[in-house]
Structure 1
């Protein structure tokens, strides 16, 4: 697409109020790809080219008609209109420009706010119209946006904002800049009440609006091809020493860099909001599960460590995405760390688990260029995405479920330079104090810090063929034996199976898989996992936040201490030692020479170094037996 055409078309198709299908500005051919548009449904209904998907600008009133339930929109604060606070003098007087745009668009200002319904769900809708002075933010726009958020906070309603804005309003000087702080404060108050906020960045979204309330949403969507960013594209082109990339400063580039959650076509926006809004509603978050009376599923045979490793590394074994698609309906994915990028190895979002909204974080194994699965390492961006998901769980009071299947955190220098250490530590710290129930499930390979960072949970479960290890078997063989051919021996020493984790009290339970592994029947495996998730959630939902946090802290505080596992192990060692001593004593044959009365025989038995005996260094000394 030629650079600059987006700005040209935005200006062209914002010159006046019109009705879809009747505007005299309707194009016969697309200005981008030359496709014939007159009789195309997408163009006549949504102003989208069906061939190249270019989105032509539409006024705010038309967006309302496309989004909300029929006749449900009731505008708020309509009578507020702009003045000239600075008596600004320019080529065209400020008041004259205002009156001109008011007559042309039928709007009193660039912002329209009101209450409406989307699929029966009440919301507050905020729209900025690029056709009114470029959708710029001035005192009145800032006031109307702030009032909208304050009204939504008072009525406990979600906010959806549709943004088309070119930045600040220079005619109002520093007062225009101050509206950023005003709107940000109003959004913060709305956030503190645990209320949802969704923004849609349409073409264009730049300047002060983009860097204030538009970027503070829980979920940020962007229309396909929209210009998005702080600076105008023209300024970036002037400052650049070389031509900008084709997709620079667009919604697609922001998605790639982790700044938005999804790009979406205008004709799919209403259905997307219909999917998101029920998931974050307060009623859905209060769903409670009934406790099941007993566990009707049993584990299969205990398998050898190397067999478990082979099973979790099978290319057809289901990973995070396969379980998410089977267990959670209406799943809405959140993407990007809002800092620098995205991580395809992390899947996170909000899903519906049998009527209860939950936040899900999952690992997804990746394929190489040949279509083969390879070791999947989590990047710093992936842990920051997980942190975003945890923030949403805390805000909306939703249970958190993590599905773990990773080789560990990234081992490359680039990850170190992007803060992998801080990302892992922050993830663990946040999970340890998250005020909602947390269930972690190791569904495949639980590798190193990457697995631990997402398993600081109230309940830790493992699929029966999964593994949990601080190092890969290959790494252990190389480290301990300097011999990769002894990898199976190293695997046995690591005690990495679900049975081992149960014995060590690292996990709270094991979940059965189909007879020969999850890969033989992914649907059945997902069904079993879903059953155990619901069963475990029912046990946790009755606990207060204080009790949850206290138990979680105690759970991990006791790991590696003198727990029941170590008491049992020590008891076995003591019993073994006693049996050995008794057996050795019975074998002693002593000739009884004549001796004086009350004279005894002294025998000395060395233990602890004898072949076949115990080797506890604390008991590595002689025992003296006096025979009467």
Structure 2
């Protein structure tokens, strides 16, 4: 795509921004409904009927997003050496001057200190109205300076991005801004600085590939065009492009964006995410002598437990996430291919302390496409992403286990499901922050174990461990362990009782008790160093199974019984054989 084509496209859209000003618009450009007297439109520039998000000027956006009078801009003017590019190319300087007069901005990037919901942060805004919001020498330098300041001040980074393509007037200098921003973001990640990006329409080009995709959390406004190449470039190279496939809504389903957030909820949502990632509070125990009580368990036979564990009405993991924890924010996707509903991940709080939740959602409807198969390579990558994020910010992780196993299809095998599963196993084993796992339904498979290498292993009373359905009939016989057997083998640390008759009859009773147990255990784990936790976890798993005296007695009796039965069987056979040989 040539330079003139790029400039024409940008100028065309900028003219639309000017022509359809807030004052002149009476009807929505998308649904044609009247919006002139709409409070939602006058305040947030959103159509109340179709939810179309109109362009909003950068300082208006700052006023909506930040606490009143908290924004303090910095680096509005850079040293003169950064302006040499305008002296070198007079036509470029004229175009920049034209955009300055039209927008009141001297570049596509605004940076400053801000407070969002009481949380101090560094704010970076790229605005499309100034030369398409793309990266040049000045804008790249302003972004890098802002990121470096966030590192030195230990403040989270919030970037609002509306950008397109490459600033071709600056040639290779424009391209090199990607390397500059990449190194600054790498330094921020190394320093564990939280970063959040909000994508607006359009969000393409260099800014998307660097500042947006490197962020820990990626949010977007509805209907934003998002991707590396501008739509016009894609149409030029591919002939036709479906606009819907490039919208932010589509990218959520493909696992590339975490959340779609309307403009009128963005301040609240960003503030909540900063609170969660800052991880300021830890649970402590005032009465350190108090421990989780040993609960008396029912004597339900194992076949009944197996039935209850797989009961159609038994609550799935997502209900636990919303009932046991507060302020849950879901993280969607593996940032590569898709967002699967079989795995639910997200940040939440437990008693005020931030935790990362990773849950296996057992889809009981096997007629559905996602319920028919086990966990896929995408599912394990999604788990690994959440675990890695928790480890970087020293956020405790709590996993919920309930799965029939992994996907056995040939397609998944060639996608490298073994590598993905192994990556999840290793990330759980290497985790520096406290970890707890809760078996809420069915476990016992390789897929279940991937989230079960934790400091504390909890199990609901009627949950079970059983060999996966894909194993042979010989192996499936008698290969079901209930909570009592798992406790005797030291496979689990704590058993959480269920209501009489099973979890499905009164789930709130179990949710309340589980919450209390998790808080007690997390407070205890918070007192331990990461080295002590790892050593304890290492010794625990190296010691499985832990045979109790009762179990050894039972096993000895079983062996003697089998030996006696085998002796009787051989004597009978031998007697028949001798009788057949007599003349």
- Which moves more between the two structures, 74-83 or 344-353? 74-83
Change (3 A) 1:379 1:572: closer
Q: Aligned residue pairs: how many?
A: 558
Q: How much does 1:538 deviate? A: 2.0
Residue in structure 2 matched with residue 446 of structure 1 by the alignment: 443
SS at match of 2:568: coil
- Which moves more between the two structures, 545-554 or 200-209? 545-554
CA distance in 1, matches of 2:456, 2:56: 50
Residue in structure 2 matched with residue 164 of structure 1 by the alignment: 162
Residue in structure 1 matched with residue 177 of structure 2 by the alignment: 179
Change (3 A) 1:135 1:39: same
SS at match of 1:35: coil
Which residues in structure 2 correspond to 1:116-135 (within 5 Å)?
116-135=114-133
SS at match of 1:349: strand
- Report if aligned partners of 1:83, 1:95 keep a CA contact under 8 Å in 2: no
Residue in structure 2 matched with residue 617 of structure 1 by the alignment: none
- Report if aligned partners of 2:71, 2:115 keep a CA contact under 8 Å in 1: yes
Residue in structure 2 matched with residue 480 of structure 1 by the alignment: 474
Residue in structure 2 matched with residue 57 of structure 1 by the alignment: 55
Residue in structure 2 matched with residue 47 of structure 1 by the alignment: 45
- Report if aligned partners of 2:283, 2:351 keep a CA contact under 8 Å in 1: no
CA distance in 1, matches of 2:407, 2:10: 40
Q: How much does 1:263 deviate? A: 1.2
Alpha carbon RMSD of aligned pairs, Å? 2.8
Residue in structure 2 matched with residue 524 of structure 1 by the alignment: 509
TM-score, length of structure 1 as denominator length:
0.83
Are residues 1:420 and 2:417 paired? Answer: yes
- Report if aligned partners of 1:365, 1:373 keep a CA contact under 8 Å in 2: no
Residue in structure 1 matched with residue 296 of structure 2 by the alignment: 299
Residue in structure 2 matched with residue 247 of structure 1 by the alignment: 244
Q: How much does 1:302 deviate? A: 2.6
Which residues in structure 2 correspond to 1:175-254 (within 5 Å)?
175-241=173-239, 243-254=240-251
Give structure 2 stretches of 5+ with no counterpart. 1-8, 571-583
Residue in structure 1 matched with residue 543 of structure 2 by the alignment: 558
Are residues 1:504 and 2:474 paired? Answer: no
Change (3 A) 1:281 1:13: farther
- Report if aligned partners of 1:198, 1:220 keep a CA contact under 8 Å in 2: yes
Residue in structure 2 matched with residue 266 of structure 1 by the alignment: 263
Change (3 A) 1:388 1:36: same
Change (3 A) 1:88 1:287: farther
Residue in structure 1 matched with residue 333 of structure 2 by the alignment: 336
Q: How much does 1:411 deviate? A: 2.1
- Report if aligned partners of 2:284, 2:524 keep a CA contact under 8 Å in 1: no
CA distance in 2, matches of 1:372, 1:171: 49
CA distance in 2, matches of 1:187, 1:268: 27
TM-score, length of structure 2 as denominator length:
0.89
Which residues in structure 2 correspond to 1:260-409 (within 5 Å)?
260-284=257-281, 286-290=282-286, 291=288, 293-296=290-293, 298-366=295-363, 368=365, 377-409=374-406
- Report if aligned partners of 1:458, 1:552 keep a CA contact under 8 Å in 2: yes
Change (3 A) 1:353 1:210: same
CA distance in 1, matches of 2:375, 2:271: 32
SS at match of 1:611: helix
SS at match of 2:402: strand
SS at match of 1:117: strand
- Report if aligned partners of 2:217, 2:258 keep a CA contact under 8 Å in 1: yes
Change (3 A) 1:443 1:609: closer
Q: How much does 1:403 deviate? A: 0.7
CA distance in 1, matches of 2:16, 2:509: 53
